[in-house]
Structure 1
Amino acid sequence: MSLTPPSRPSRRSLLTGAAGAAGAALLTGCSDSPSSGATAALSLERRMREAAVRDSERLLERYDATTAAHPSLAPRLAPLRAAVAAHTAALSPSAPSRPSSSATPSGGTGAAAPTTGAAAVPPKPAEALTDLADAERTLSESRTIDLAGAPGELARLLASVAACGAVHAHLLTSNPGATA
């Protein structure tokens, strides 16, 4: 019988084996099937788009209610309302977009635009414009916050729509035809 102790693996061979096992575990996650991360990104984008569309539709209702309550404002509101309608169409989940893997989980629900209705429109045109500007500003700020968690293409779209909303808020509260 031999008195030599059984050989033990060296530290280097243990580290090499551990690195190989970790690499194998990482490669196991790669497959031909869609990854859950990509599916989650698409699901996140869809939820964010649906919320953005709902918010835009509420804003459209506010424009309609304001125009109905103050027909004299219709020429001033028509181009802004048309832009909001275009935003609604662009934000639609059926709108073409490219999925992005840079999505991060976020609540991205958008702001709830204030409720609409003819009764909610202030009786004076100037107050109605201010109220509409506040709704545009609130939605613009919410979209600016939401774009941080949005997938790439949607984030760019939200940024653009938020900027447009901020311009709308300015136009609604500025004195049309006045010189600076």
Structure 2
Amino acid sequence: MPWTPHSRPSRRSLLAGAAGAAGVALLTGCTDGRPAVAEPAVSLERRMREAAVRDSARLLERYDATAAVHPDLTARLAPLRAAVAAHASALSPAGAGSPSPSASPSGGTGAAAPAAGGGPVPAKPAEALTALADAERSLSETRTIDLAGAPGELARLLASVAACGAVHVHLLTSDPGATA
């Protein structure tokens, strides 16, 4: 039986082509007409790590702002915040500092404090936890997307951190006293 090609490309081949095109775009970058330098000043991995650390720092700020507005949540948030600080440290490029992983949340006044990247912390504790879960979910999704362009070891680290973020979403949105 003779082989006949499909009339349209498969979803897998389209995704592979898109990933290849994105990789080529990342590797070539924009130039001003001059030949590209063989060694970029900052490697792709370092740029990705620095961006991941900045994202973790913003999430740490969100945890701190939430704890400041809702001091009763501090004990619940402390282990999750510590994990985010550890992620920032693990993602830091060699020789770079991480964003205050040991800093502890300050005492709260009860007023809505500004939270990085998400507006003010909601006044109700349940809404504040939901907003924090949304920030964790968004960052987890971003890190999952970043896997496609990350070098091997960094991709594995990003996958682990994204998975941990997904667990944080569950912990932030579940009732700690409920039984399954």
TM-score class, shorter-chain normalisation, is 0.5 to 0.7
- Structure-1 residue corresponding to 2:64: 64
Calculate the TM-score normalised by the size of structure 1. 0.65
Structure 2 counterpart of 1:81: 81
| Closer/same/farther in 2, CA of residues 150 and 119 from structure 1, 3 Å limit | closer
| Post-superposition CA distance 1:11-51 (Å, at most 9, x none) | xxxxxxxxxxxxxxxxxxxxxxxx94xx45x7000000000
The 1:81/1:117 distance shift into structure 2, 3 A limit, reads same
Structure 2, unaligned stretches of length 5 or more? Answer: 1-36, 97-113
Match of 1:12 in 2: none
Higher helix share: 1
**CA shift for structure 1 position 147:** 0.9
| Distance in structure 1 (CA, Å) of the matches to 2:171 and 2:45 | 30
Amino acid at match of 2:147: L
Distance 2:148 2:118 in 1: 34
Using structure 2 for the length normalisation, give the TM-score: 0.65
Unaligned runs of 5+ in 1: 1-34, 97-113
Work out the percentage of aligned pairs sharing the same amino acid: 79
State the superposition RMSD in angstroms.
2.5
Shift of 1:95: 6.6
Deviation, 1:134, is: 0.1
Larger relative contact order (CA 8 Å, sep ≥ 6): 1
Deviation, 1:138, is 0.2
**Structure 2 partner of 1:93:** 93
CA distance in 2, matches of 1:86, 1:135: 17
**In terms of Rg, which structure is larger?**
1
**Displaced runs of 4+ in structure 1, greater than 4 A?**
none
